[in-house]
Amino acid sequence: MYLNYYSKKQEGAGLPIALFIVTVLSLIVVGMSQLQESSGSAISLQVQSQRAFFAAESGAQVVIADLLKEAGEDPVSGSDSEYIEFPADNGLAGCEVTVNYSTANDITLVESFGVCGEGAPDEARRTVEVRLR
């Protein structure tokens, strides 16, 4: 007598369950990798933003120090502009600052514009404004 193994009804849910588990796990892995990528770019943007703020603040402080040194001289009404680029060995390397200042009626307005990562996807710009009397 010849036994036909294929004629028996096959039972069990092992294969569908295994496929379901593999699919769910791969969706979780893809979701985690996208979350990791977006959080990495957010951190990069936050760091660039802080660097741009510190660059703008440093530029304002440099100009204010120069203005205070000249305070012994007669202040002249007018305005001027300075451009500062930080050296490569500095923590603000790659950042640029443009500082505009004007004096009128014994009040000096200093506006400092800091840019870090110009042209990059994580480019950040910050402005610091100081009034001196």
Q: Is the pLDDT of residue 112 over 90?
A: yes
Domain regions of the chain by residue span = 16-132
Q: What is the pTM of this model?
A: 0.68
For the sheet containing 107-116, what is the strand order? Answer: 78-85, 95-104, 107-116, 124-132
Q: What is the pLDDT of residues 22-81, one digit of tens each?
A: 999 999 999 998 888 888 778 888 888 999 999 999 999 988 888 888 766 555 556 788
What CA–CA distance (Å, rounded) separates 130 from 111?
6
Q: Is the pLDDT of residue 103 over 80?
A: yes
What CA–CA distance (Å, rounded) separates 104 from 112?
18
Token duo for residue 29: 């892995």
DSSP E strand stretches across the chain: 78-85, 95-104, 107-116, 124-132
Banded model confidence at residue 3, pLDDT cuts 50, 70, 90 = low
Contact residues for 80 (Cβ-Cβ < 8 A; gap 6+): 100, 101, 102
